[in-house]
Amino acid sequence: MPAPRVLVLDFDGTMTDAEAEGRPFRDGYLEDLCTLVGKKPGDAEVTAIADGVEDDLARAPGAHAFTWMGRLVAPATVDPYLRMVPIAHAILDQFGAFPGAVDRGRLLGSILYKYNYAKTLGHPVFRAGAGEVLRALGGTPTWIVTNSDTHAVAGKVAALDHVTPGVAWLTSRVRGMARKFDVDDAWTGVAAELAVPGLDRPVLLRRHAYFEILQAVLSDAGGAWTDLTVIGDIFELDLALPLALGARVGLVASPRTPPYERAFVEAHPRARMIEDLAEIPAYALPASA
């Protein structure tokens, strides 16, 4: 009997409206940055820097990258969580604060991110149709693999179950802290880079921590990479690695999806743009449709 197709879903930004849900994250993060550079919350200079970076990102999404541990690992434009990193760098640079790449990376990614992400948990905002799709996937080999905390995302799924009963089965299938942004040059299980037309920098593929989680999911299901479909909202973080390893992928569209990502996905035989979440079950798990 052939192995079943396996589905992995990203969550924040894929099943949720990241712009609406992420507003408290952005506001709280900016308040903390003001404190770190010796300014009062709402300081006009800090606000102007943040707004200026936002404008730059919107005008040229391909020219601005999310920087993690000194590496360019994702577009900085797609959601408020990613956009806060170049905003924070600009603010800290302006005031000469935390100049070291390692210390700054830990501050932004491990401390300020976690502290302010928690502010979004009390009011999850789901994309239209998220509950119906997750309910329709009940009984299928589906997992959620996310950069966010396992329990936080499981809590969002549980909250969604109160609105759309029948999705709570996924709370035990969340694999968090996937570290999709971590690049491990020492790992040689995949090519180092992927060239994407319209993007001047390479897409770095060696996300070993993310690979290990996906591999564990496949091993549990008895499947191979060609049996896997991954759905996410950021090609570079969620989809580039599994695509390079033979999986199919679906990129959930948003108004901030970079044009070069859309063009690449539309041209690839194992990739698809997802304009409506209702498309996911039939694309990802055709036997269950």
Tens-digit pLDDT string for the chain (289 aa): 455 699 999 999 999 999 999 999 999 999 999 999 999 999 999 999 999 999 988 888 888 888 887 889 999 888 898 899 889 999 999 999 999 888 888 898 779 988 898 888 778 999 999 999 999 999 999 999 999 889 989 999 999 999 999 999 999 999 999 999 999 999 999 999 999 999 999 999 999 999 999 999 999 999 999 999 999 999 999 999 999 999 999 999 998 999 999 999 999 999 999 999 999 999 998 754 4
Q: Which domains does the chain have, with CATH numbers?
A: 6-16+125-288 (3.40.50.1000), 19-120 (no CATH)
Amino acid 105: pLDDT? 81
Amino acid 288: pLDDT? 45
Q: Which of 35, 37, 25, 31 is nearest to 92 (CA)?
A: 37
Amino acid 274: pLDDT? 98
The tokens of 229 are what?
């479909």
pTM beyond cutoff 0.95: no
Amino acid 244: pLDDT? 98
Amino acid 1: pLDDT? 41
